[in-house]
Amino acid sequence: MKNIKLPALFFAVAMCASALAQTPLITNIPARKTISLNGKWQYIVDPYETGFYDYRYKEMKPSDGGAYWTTDVPKDKSDRKEFGYSDKQTLNVPGDWNSQAEKFFYYEGTVWYKKSFDFTKAKPGNRVFLHFGAVNYKADVYLNGHKLGQHKGGFTAFDFEIADSLIKAKGNYLVVKVDNKRFKDEVPTLNTDWWNYGGITREVNLVEVPGSMIQDYVIQLKKPETTNAAPEVEGWIKLNHAAANETATVEIPELKMKKTFPVNGDNCAVNFKLPGVQLWSPENPKLYKVVITTSADKVTEKIGFRTIETKGKQLLLNGKPLFMRGICIHGENPVEGRRAYTSKDAAMLLSWAKELHCNMVRLAHYPHDEKMTRMADSLGILVWSEIPVYWTIEFTNPDVLEKAKGQLNEMITRDHNRASIIIWSVGNETPVSPARTDFMHSLITKAKELDNTRLVSAALEVNGAGGKHVVDDPLGEFVDIVSFNEYLGWYGGTPNSCRTANWEIKYDKPFFISETGAETLGGFHADSLTRWSEEYQEWYYKEQVAMFKRMPDNFVGLSPWILADFRSPKRNNPVYQEGWNNKGLVDHKGNKKKAYYILRKYYDEKTAK
């Protein structure tokens, strides 16, 4: 067996954008023994953060009489409590608060959530973790008055181990202080073009595992060294509290493959051939049951096997040229105007993409709910997954870089066994400067350290004057695919400007148009010169498609902006926007616009070739 270098994340207690450490992330939660804490949670709105700071605006300490709003139960009849949780005020978890009550629509601030629950371990000696799919943005977590820790980052999972001394059979009191205020030194920063949905937006579970557990693993194909090389898995298994002389077994029953590997400390290197494997692809999204077993633990997961690489000007999936017929998607249910978090949400969005004849989606501008990436695996949809390094964050601030790296780590850790994900993106439309390029290059380097089986990119901007458009962003030197956003005919000029557009790509690499689009109010019809009409957007896509057909031979795909309309406080035209970015090909009533069919026809033509 080869000596495989294990990722540095194994040896960190935690890697998160937080001042307080969290326990290392457990992956594949659906395969674990869990107790759901979803449902109705009591809440208190706290715009002045009275439950956290004293009247001098200093953080209270546990020694202070009413420190924190972690319990509203008086110690005795003389105890003063100026707050209280009640069933009169509840919010659904998972879910954003903005869409659940009118008073929350534009609210950005602090809300305290409280959930009571009973719990008894299935087996003495097991360990218990509290796992959150995501909380936007900062979460301070307390159990029975004890602070478990803090997490920052609105779109990635986190968990905390719960000591036996902290959890009771009856009447546990879980409180989460959620703060979604925007700050210039956070990721994302103050200025974004999407709705800042606050709350516990994804599932919450208690996870019970053996004392010696399988914490994480990568079972993926390595990039082939030669054209005809046999498929080979090169991965690892991370245990937590491994027994002495432990081994780990990997089994793929359908392929009659079963191999056992020695564990060194808590780490296990995995390497084996997979003759006869059916490679995962959009045309054949084959998933295999993979079973990982140790002396104390066992996890099962469905995993697809495929390779993705670039060679010269080509993008290759399983060694064959790939053209990505993509579309961008926000993590939002446009029909209900809320954060997307259910399997039905994922099915609706991805079915619209499939009907568009897409083979790829760009999940913008942050990691989406895990249901999206798992469903993409099963449907055969390629995925670009991105962290919210967006526009003008503080590129000279080393603390911000560490926060971005933390979110990058959490994104990759959760989804590194998803065959559908072929591109990790480290950001979108960041302004060129030496500091910014160093910042982004550092993220690219980190992504490749964490996962060398996928490609890394970022959505760049384009410089242009007249008909000449040059892609020369210095970050293009470091990405695997040069990706850029262009809006010829919407932001400047009219769609016929595409007819004289000439593209010059400085880098001899595959290039990808990561955004293009025009805004229209669904159902508004006029002539094609009238902005905001469906006919204008239709004309825009006709001219764009004609331009795509003239692109250089290293053009490997596109993901227009965007599948469906989505909420944005930046969009304030009182007639045509009213708080919506309406560049969707599907409007926020679920109706397909005329441009939808122009793009689908182009994708049909690309499929037929």
* CATH 2.60.40.10 given to domain 224-306: yes
b/e for 348-384, b at 16 or more Cβ within 10 A? bbbebbeebbbbbbbbbbbbbbbbbbbbbbebbbbbb
Tens digit of pLDDT for each residue in 330-340?
999 999 999 99
Judge contact between 295 and 212, C-beta under 8 A. Answer: yes
pTM of the predicted model as reported, rounded to 2 decimal places: 0.94
Q: Residue 129: which of 221, 65, 34 has the closest Cα?
A: 34
Tens digit of pLDDT for each residue in 231-285?
999 999 999 999 999 999 999 999 999 999 999 999 999 999 999 999 999 999 9
For residue 409, pLDDT over 60 is answered with yes
pLDDT mean over 54-79: 78
- Within 8 A by CB and 6+ apart from 333, the residues are 339, 340, 345, 348, 349
φ/ψ of 499, rounded to 5, equals: -70, -30
Question: Residue 54: what pLDDT?
Answer: 86
Least confident of 89-98, 223-232, 348-357, 484-493: 223-232
Query: Left (φ > 0), alpha (ψ -120 to 50) or beta: where does 57 sit?
Result: left
Q: Cα separation of 580 and 569, whole Å? A: 7
**Contacts by 33-37, CB closer than 8 A, 24 or more apart:** 33/122, 33/207, 33/208, 33/209, 34/131, 34/205, 34/206, 34/207, 34/208, 35/117, 35/119, 35/205, 35/206, 35/208, 36/203, 36/204, 36/205, 37/93, 37/115, 37/117, 37/174, 37/204, 37/205, 37/206
Q: Average pLDDT over the chain, rounded to whole?
A: 93
Tens digit of pLDDT for each residue in 468-502?
899 999 999 999 999 999 999 999 889 999 999 99
Percent of all residues in the chain with a pLDDT value above 90, rounded to a whole number: 88
- For the chain, give every domain's residue range: 10-209, 224-306, 318-608
Quick check: helix, strand or coil at residue 496? helix
Quick check: helix, strand or coil at residue 603? helix
The three-point CA angle 396-398-404 to 5° equals 100
Burial label for 157, CB within 10 Å (0-12, 13-18, 19+), is buried
Q: DSSP string spanning 234-296?
A: EEEEEEESPPTT-EEEEEEGGGTEEEEEE-BTTEEEEEEE-TTPPPP-SS----EEEEEE-SS
Question: Residue 492: what pLDDT?
Answer: 84
| Structure tokens, 517 | 């689009």
Q: Work out whether the CA dihedral 36, 37, 40, 46 comes out positive or negative.
A: negative
Question: Residue 71: what pLDDT?
Answer: 85
CA distance to 317, 332, 444, per residue, from 201 (Å): 34, 11, 28
Q: DSSP string spanning 395-406?
A: TT-HHHHHHHHH
CA distance to 192, 406, 450, per residue, from 139 (Å): 21, 15, 25
pLDDT mean over 419-442: 98
Question: Residue 175: what pLDDT?
Answer: 96
Q: DSSP string spanning 206-225?
A: EEEE-SSEEEEEE--BPPPS
Quick check: helix, strand or coil at residue 156? coil
Preceding omega of 94 cis (within 30 degrees of 0): yes
Tens digit of pLDDT for each residue in 555-580?
999 999 999 999 999 999 999 999 99
Confidence of residue 59 (pLDDT cuts 50, 70, 90): confident
* CATH 2.40.37.20 given to domain 10-209: no
Judge contact between 595 and 537, C-beta under 8 A. Answer: yes
Q: Residue 590: which of 333, 367, 385 has the closest Cα?
A: 333
For residue 422, pLDDT over 70 is answered with yes
| Structure tokens, 514 | 């990561």
Percent of all residues in the chain with a pLDDT value above 70, rounded to a whole number: 94
Q: Torsion angle, CA of 92/97/103/108, rounded to 10 degrees?
A: 150
Question: Residue 463: what pLDDT?
Answer: 74
Q: Residue 315: which of 553, 562, 601, 486 has the closest Cα?
A: 553
Q: Torsion angle, CA of 393/394/399/402, rounded to 10 degrees?
A: 40
Judge contact between 234 and 4, C-beta under 8 A. Answer: yes
Judge contact between 419 and 303, C-beta under 8 A. Answer: yes
pLDDT mean over 506-529: 97
Confidence of residue 228 (pLDDT cuts 50, 70, 90): confident
pLDDT mean over 56-77: 77
E strands, 105-223, are 110-117, 127-132, 138-143, 146-152, 158-162, 172-179, 204-209, 213-218
Question: Residue 23: what pLDDT?
Answer: 57
Judge contact between 280 and 249, C-beta under 8 A. Answer: no
For residue 7, pLDDT over 60 is answered with no
b/e for 395-427, b at 16 or more Cβ within 10 A? beeeebbebbbbbbbbbbbbbbbbbbbbbbbbb
Q: Cα separation of 408 and 216, whole Å? A: 16
Residue type, 195: W
pLDDT mean over 177-197: 97
Confidence of residue 24 (pLDDT cuts 50, 70, 90): low
Report the CATH number of the 318-608 domain: 3.20.20.80
For residue 10, pLDDT over 70 is answered with no
Quick check: helix, strand or coil at residue 39? strand
Tens digit of pLDDT for each residue in 580-604?
999 999 999 999 999 999 999 999 9
Q: Residue 416: which of 2, 11, 25 has the closest Cα?
A: 25
For residue 18, pLDDT over 80 is answered with no
Question: Residue 230: what pLDDT?
Answer: 86
For residue 5, pLDDT over 50 is answered with no
Question: Residue 271: what pLDDT?
Answer: 97
